Amino acid sequence: MKKLLISLAVVGVLVGLMAAPVMAEDVGEVGKTASVTVNAYKSVTVTDNGSPGLDFGSLTPGTEDEPEAASPSLTIAAAVENNGNVAVSIKGTDFSDGGSNSFDIENATWNTSDETGSDQDMLETYAPVGTLPASTSLSIYHWLSIPGGQAAASYTSTFTYKTE
Amino acid sequence: MKKICLFALAALLLLALPLPAYADEPAKYNFASAQGDKELTVTPGGEVRGDLYFYNIDGNRITHLNLEVGQAPDNWEVAVEPPLSETQVLISGLPVTVAENLYVEPWELLSEEPQTVPEGMVSIKVPGRGYTLGKLAQVVIRVPESVALGSTGEITIAAEASWLGQTGAAAVKQARDFEFTVTVVSESEEFTEVIVGEDGSGTVSTNGATQAAVARWWPALIGGAAAAIIAGVVVSRRRAAKKRALR
């Protein structure tokens, strides 16, 4: 009986010694991957400070830098819930009467201040305007020139503000 | 009776006050979006959907949205639901047809999640502000069977928001791109991991019960087996000794 007990004790110690390193690895620190998706919120409001749409009135050919009816023309605001900055850029389409008459979009200009000296031409491709963190806003001023000899008609364009 | 009439008149005046105030308010063109998971997975020949939520709590005009697929890998089918369709709109009494995927009406901000949501709308949580009702657009992405496992595809949805009733020389629009990265994964739901050795042999891991992990237990298993054999030998020798003693 004594021999049996001693044998079992030896066996127990042997198994314990061999299993201990493996057990230690299993009960040690284990890295678990945690994942979560945070939705991207982006809300931008363009306030049209004058009458709806950008209004330059009735102009004569050769007019230069006629300001839009409202000053500033637009106010672009990023909402409080945005969880990232909003990059604002701007582009426009050529002015057209829907028929054969048109003039280049470069005759329209923009600025974030009311100074025409540093205004920039509108382009058919996006040009950067600025970056808006949440709860901030910027103002946009617009001017329009009419080429000399431009045919009399009602011209329209579309100004697109990319807010991403 | 005279008092009642005066009270009713005062109430009507109070009710009428906000109307001119609203009419005088400048137009506010709100383009608000919440994009769900940008990282999507799809199996070869399978389909996955990306979610885009739109709401309008800061505007006072209906936002009309056009959603186009700007970029997608060749041979991948990418579509937007709801698709482009024509909507009849009355602008100051004049009928106008608008081609759009969806429109989002100005909606009030709610302090609690709405219990009932009208058909075609969804409840949207607006962080730090509350809840509102808006619209859901889904980007449906189908990949061919032949697409390679592990490959990725970049999808861009170009959104354009417009507002009706602008009478000036230039109409104002907003534009925004939504990007999704789609990774092609195996159809098998079982997780496998293969470490490829220099000789090309691999150790395969399945659902965490790896052959390597089993190998770690070999010393303990061998020790246990040895212990069982030793114990068996001891017991059998003891029994043999008892038998000899009984004889």
C-beta atoms of B169 and A163 within 8 A: no
User: Is the domain covering B27-184 a CATH 2.60.40.10 domain?
Assistant: yes
Set of chain A residues whose Cβ sits within 8 Å of the Cβ of B158: none
pTM attached to this predicted model = 0.77
Identify the pLDDT of residue B185. Answer: 95
Higher-confidence residue: A23 or B149?
A: B149
Closest approach of chain B CAs to the CA of A162, in angstroms? Answer: 4
Tell whether the model's pLDDT for residue B49 goes beyond 90.
yes
Model confidence band, residue B80 (pLDDT cutoffs 50, 70, 90): very high
Identify the pLDDT of residue B21. Answer: 43
Between positions 115 and 144 of A, the ones with CB within 8 A of B are 142, 144
Q: Say yes or no: ipTM exceeds 0.85.
A: no
Among A15, A47, A163, the residue with its CB nearest the CB of B31 is: A163
The one-letter code for the residue type at B64 is H
Closest approach of chain B CAs to the CA of A55, in angstroms? Answer: 4
Instruction: Work out how many CB contacts closer than 8 A connect A with B.
Output: 175
Identify the pLDDT of residue B57. Answer: 97
Test mutation, B163, B166, B179, chain A, max A CBs within 10 A: B166
Closest-approach residue (CA) in chain B for A75: B28
- Answer CATH for A44-163 from 3.10.590, 2.60.40, 3.40.50, 3.60.40: 2.60.40
Closest approach of chain B CAs to the CA of A105, in angstroms? Answer: 11
- Each residue's pLDDT tens digit, A114-151: 998 999 999 999 999 999 999 999 999 999 999 999 99
Tell whether the model's pLDDT for residue B41 goes beyond 80.
yes
Per DSSP, chain B holds a count of helices (H) and strands (E) of: 4, 14
For B206, what's the count of Cα atoms within 13 Å in the CB-facing half-sphere?
5
Q: What are phi and psi of B183, to 5 degrees?
A: -110, 135
Question: What are the extents of the domains in chain B?
Answer: 27-184, 192-246
C-beta atoms of A46 and B29 within 8 A: yes
Identify the pLDDT of residue B226. Answer: 72
Among B37, B58, B177, the residue with its CB nearest the CB of A79 is: B58
- CB atoms under 10 Å from CB of A13, counted, come to 12
A13 touches chain B (CB under 8 A): no
The secondary structure of A78-122 as a DSSP string is E-TT-SS-EEEEEEE--EE-SSS-EE-GGGEEEESSS-STT-EE-
Question: What are the extents of the domains in chain A?
Answer: 44-163
Q: What are phi and psi of B245, to 5 degrees?
A: -65, -35
- Each residue's pLDDT tens digit, B189-205: 677 788 887 776 655 55
Closest approach of chain A CAs to the CA of B194, in angstroms? Answer: 19
Closest-approach residue (CA) in chain B for A14: B223
C-beta atoms of A48 and B29 within 8 A: yes
